[in-house]
Amino acid sequence: MNIHAVVLAAGKGTRMNSSLYKVMHPLCGKPMIEHVVDALVPLALRNLVVIVGHGAEAVKEQLGNRVQYALQKEQLGTAHALWMSSGILGEQEGVTIVLNGDTPLVQSETLQELLDCHQAKQAAATVLTAVVDNPTGYGRIIRDENGAVRKIVEEKDATLGQKKVNEISTGIFCFDNRKLFATLPHVSNENAQGEYYLPDVLALLQEQGELVAASVAADAEEGAGVNDRVQLAYMEQLMRKRINERHMRRGVTMVDPNATYIDSTVTIGRDTVLYPGTVLLGQTRIGEGCQIGPHAQVKDMNIEDYTRVPPFSAFDGNRHTDRALAYAGAATSGQSYEQK
């Protein structure tokens, strides 16, 4: 079976109040859009299309030829954005995953579960949902009396009763590709925003007698998007926690995980100890049995096994501060270490 994916990344993101294109804002060492693309790669996709608009050149420079691109010149809604990929995907067989470029916490395993659910139920469309305490701002999942998904109602179009529903759409979908592109031209923009909403495809498919299924995400945060700097900071906090826990499970000791900052691109050997205030950035590689900090920053460096990076030091590539020396031998100090 052919698997395709479309990442919707054409929005400007005005609430970020920034000259930087929204999906290009960094999160733990990489732009948001790159986290999303990295989550899709393990699915062995036949086509991966990124819908670009504002800031298209920045996205293309970042992702290069790893993906294909389609341009949405006018921002007329998510269904309209997806239709921009019809020249690439419109005649393809298989299934298509659709997700937003500002959902950096989504994981490959969750997307695979969505695919598995879609195939097992032989659905025309499957939506990834989540149950949350505060559904404000999200599309609500409206089910029928049998528990099947009837439709998704956006916040601005929801009634008071619908706003009380706490099962939300994550904005991540899986579609039968042929049925998706046959239905998209029939989506209407008769709503409060005058936009073409992708979730309306579900209702149209049901009118045709097609099955719309749902896969409930174990972690509601995976589908959360970023609309402003407050949400960006919150996402970074969640991702740092995930990164730190992964390293600790692999044998790294953190004296205070809440005061340890590690980019997603960093690798660390087992039995290394990270003291409070450690900041590891970029393409840093830390060997086994090292001691880092407290209050040490290392960026784009290879630190050999059993090296001690002393407190209040900073290393950046081949450069380091005059006060900073790294000492070989975390267990037995003595020899100075020079970056090669």
DSSP character at residue 53: B
Q: What is the pLDDT of residue 155?
A: 86
Q: What is the pLDDT of residue 315?
A: 92
Domain boundaries, the chain: 3-223, 250-337
**Taking a C-beta distance cutoff of 8 angstroms, is the pair 13, 21 a contact?**
yes
Q: How long a stretch of residues is the chain? A: 340
Do domains 3-223 and 250-337 share one topology? The answer is: no
CA distance 103 to 227: 10
**Of the options 3.20.20.70, 3.30.60.50, 2.160.10.10, 3.30.360.10, the CATH number for the domain spanning 250-337:** 2.160.10.10
Tokens of 33: 């859009």
Q: What are phi and psi of 242, to 5 degrees?
A: -65, -45
Q: What is the pLDDT of residue 193?
A: 85
Pick from 229, 181, 241: which is nearest to 205 by CA? 181
Checking DSSP bridges between strand 335-337 and strand 326-328, what pairing results, if any?
A: antiparallel
Q: pLDDT tens for the chain, 340 residues: list them.
A: 999 999 999 988 889 999 999 999 999 999 999 999 999 999 999 999 999 997 899 999 999 999 999 999 999 999 999 999 999 999 999 999 999 999 999 999 999 999 999 999 999 999 999 999 999 888 899 988 877 788 888 888 899 999 999 999 999 999 999 999 999 999 999 988 899 999 899 989 999 999 999 999 999 999 889 999 999 999 999 999 999 999 999 999 999 999 999 999 999 999 999 999 999 999 999 999 999 999 999 999 999 999 999 999 999 885 444 344 555 544 443 333 444 3
Pick from 109, 154, 107, 116: which is nearest to 135 by CA? 154
**Of the options 1.20.1270.10, 3.90.550.10, 3.40.50.2300, 3.40.50.410, the CATH number for the domain spanning 3-223:** 3.90.550.10
Among the listed residues 15, 66, 250, 270, the single catalytic one is 15
Q: Does this model's pTM top 0.75?
A: yes
**Side-chain-facing half-sphere of 161: CA atoms under 13 Å:** 1
Q: What is the pLDDT of residue 326?
A: 57
CA distance 303 to 314: 13
Q: What is the pLDDT of residue 9?
A: 96
- The DSSP annotation for 193-259 comes to T----TTHHHHHHHHTT--EEEEE-S-GGGG----SHHHHHHHHHHHHHHHHHHHHHTT-EES-GGG
3-state secondary structure of 14: helix
Q: What is the pLDDT of residue 146?
A: 76
Is 270 designated active site? Answer: no
CA distance 265 to 275: 19
Q: What is the pLDDT of residue 54?
A: 79
